[in-house]
Amino acid sequence: MERLAVGGWDALPPGVRLAGGHLHDVRRIVFSGVVLIAKRVACGPAWPGRVHRLEQGEEVARLAAAEGLSAVPAYLVDRSPVIEVPGGAVLLFPDIPGEPPQAQSKGPDTADCHWAGRTLAGLHRLPMPPACAAEGALWPVTPPDHWPALLAAAPDLAGEADLLALWSRRYTEAHPRLSSTVAVGHGDFAPRNVLVSGASRRIVDWEHAGPVEPSTEFAVVALDWSRTPDGQVDADAFAAVLDGYVAAAPGQERPSPVGLVGRAGRLMAWTRFNLAQAAEHGPHPFLERAQLALAELRLQLDNETTWTDWYRVPTRPGPNVLINQ
């Protein structure tokens, strides 16, 4: 580990680059005779608070694992999951076998969706770790009239200013209600961050874990898990996520459709981040990511009435899938 701390990422064996990770380098390596997953995370002045966020996310992962919620936390090295190296930080994980539950060519599986809902409810019931207590659960509001200047880095997207301004107004109106509830969450509980091997399901990538607004995270998760190969949303799969969530927490408040507006706030924050990165570092790959976020905002606007109605459908019993599988 001294070699890693001094030499940084290059001190590790090159290994095999793995798919996934919008912002990071993730590799399978053999280190001291052990197969590990190594993740390099950018840190430094451009990423204020990143090391703290990583430590916070891993604290949530360890808490979730202790509660049987299938988490895969990073190894502790000198009592910390984060190894600070020149230009960033490194986390080391066990090499967990498996693949994401949804193949690109297949539609969502309702058993997987029911499990996702049950697991999310379990996460939202976890006690708030002390390190997370001061963290906010929502993304900041961008004033509607700020979008034209922010879009200056992307002239081809200038026509989306009205869409962003509309969602900014909606998010501003919903913000007080969304701010009234906070829970522990994963922050990116999508199929790509679950590894399935036989009957086993394991959740990875906890770097965004911490305080969340539960209805917002439910909306994000339900729409991620119920996505079809053509980019639409399957009603039965969405219902399965909702059924799983309610079944696992019958005394817990049902997710509210206002979480859809919270999801729009998340998409706007991601759009703004990528526009800023494009202005500083050039268009690729940041403008493509901004375009995808804008497409999601448009899809949600076009389907919001339908999706809101899905929240009101009576819940149904789902398959008997253990939450800690």
pLDDT the model gives residue 279: 92
Token pair of 255, please? 């997710």
Res. 325: pLDDT tops 50:
no
Angle between helices 110-124 and 214-225 (to 10 degrees): 160
Give the integer Cα–Cα distance in Å for 234 and 245: 17
pLDDT the model gives residue 59: 96
Check if the beta carbon of residue 92 is closer than 8 Å to that of residue 27: no
Token pair of 227, please? 């996505």
User: Who contacts 102 (Cβ-Cβ below 8 Å, separation ≥6)?
Assistant: 108, 109, 112, 191, 225
What percent of the chain lies above the pLDDT cut of 90? 72
Res. 14: pLDDT tops 80:
yes
Instruction: Give the pLDDT band of residue 44 (cuts 50, 70, 90).
Output: low
User: Who contacts 292 (Cβ-Cβ below 8 Å, separation ≥6)?
Assistant: none
Res. 236: pLDDT tops 50:
yes
Token pair of 39, please? 């993740």
Instruction: Give the pLDDT band of residue 320 (cuts 50, 70, 90).
Output: very low
Task: Look up the pTM and report it.
Answer: 0.92
- Cβ count near 19 (within 10 Å): 7
Phi-psi region of 127 (alpha: psi -120 to 50; beta: other; left: phi over 0): beta
Q: Which residues of 42-73 are buried (b: 16+ CB within 10 A; e: fewer)?
A: ebeeeeeebbebbbbbbbbbbbbbebebbbbb
Q: What average pLDDT does the segment 54-81 reach?
A: 95
Res. 48: pLDDT tops 80:
no
Instruction: Give the pLDDT band of residue 324 (cuts 50, 70, 90).
Output: very low
Tell which CATH classification among 3.30.565.10, 3.30.200.20, 3.40.920.10, 3.30.300.130 matches the domain 2-94. Answer: 3.30.200.20
Q: What average pLDDT does the segment 305-325 reach?
A: 68
| DSSP state string for 101-156 | SS-TTS---HHHHHHHHHHHHHHHTSPPPGGGTT--SSPPPPPGGGHHHHGGG-GG
Residue carrying the six token digits 């808490």 = 63
Half-sphere exposure of 200 (CA within 13 A, CB side): 11
Res. 139: pLDDT tops 90:
yes
Res. 84: pLDDT tops 80:
yes
What amino acid is encoded at 263 in this protein? R
Cβ burial, residue 85 (10 Å; 0-12/13-18/19+): buried
Check if the beta carbon of residue 182 is closer than 8 Å to that of residue 213: yes
CA atoms 312, 313, 318, 321: torsion sign = negative
Token pair of 106, please? 């297949």
**Coil vs helix vs strand at 239:** helix
The residue ranges of every structural domain in the chain are 2-94, 110-310
E strand residue ranges, the chain: 16-17, 25-31, 34-42, 83-85, 88-94, 183-185, 194-197, 200-203, 210-212
**Can you identify the CATH homologous superfamily of domain 110-310?**
Aminoglycoside phosphotransferase (APH), C-terminal lobe (3.90.1200.10)
Mean pLDDT of the chain: 89
